[in-house]
Amino acid sequence: MKPANREIDERIGQALRGWADAGTLPPEKSFALERLVFQMSHQGQRSRLVAVLRGAIAALAAYVTMLFFACPAAGSILPAVEFLVENSAGPANELVEQVAYNPATPVFNRAGNANLKGAQS
């Protein structure tokens, strides 16, 4: 750019930046912008609250559903523990039974073998 053009270029730039900096917004428009920001802020807070509530309701519904499916009285689809124990054989199930019925008895003896003394079956 030629020096004369550069001078004009800088002059235009300075003049327009000064003109823009001196700009003011009418009070009603300024207030309208303020209201717009407050509205967006409140809307955001409401959305977050709604999302939290929805999450809590979904979690509660999932919990109740799981309780229902796990409850034998309500026709559970999951077999009860007694049923599993009655229809099983072997030391592993006996161990489970012992833990369930005699929690005070140590599960393993000193030799590290399973202690099946208190088992019912």
Partner 1 sequence: MNDKRFIELLHKEEGKLYRIALAILGSEADAWDALQQAVEQAWCKRATLRGAEAAFPAWVKKILVNCSIDLLHRRERVIPVDPQLIPALLRDEPSPDARLIWQLVAELGPGFRQVIALRYLGDFSLEDTARALHIPVGTVKSRLNTAHKRLKEMLEEKEAKGADILETSQP
> Which chain residues interact with partner 1 by CB under 8 A?
4-5, 8-9, 11-25, 29-30, 32-34, 36-38, 40-41
Nearer to partner 1, 46 or 117 (CB): 46
Which residue type, as a one-letter code, is found at position 18? G
Task: Tell me the closest approach of the beta carbon of residue 17 to partner 1, in angstroms.
Answer: 7
Q: How near is the Cβ of 33 to partner 1 at its closest, in Å?
A: 6
Q: State which H helix or E strand residue 62 sits in.
A: helix 27-70
Between 30 and 105, name the residue whose CB sits nearer to partner 1. 30
Minimum Å gap between C-beta 12 and partner 1 is 6
* Gap between the Cα atoms of 27 and 32, Å rounded: 9
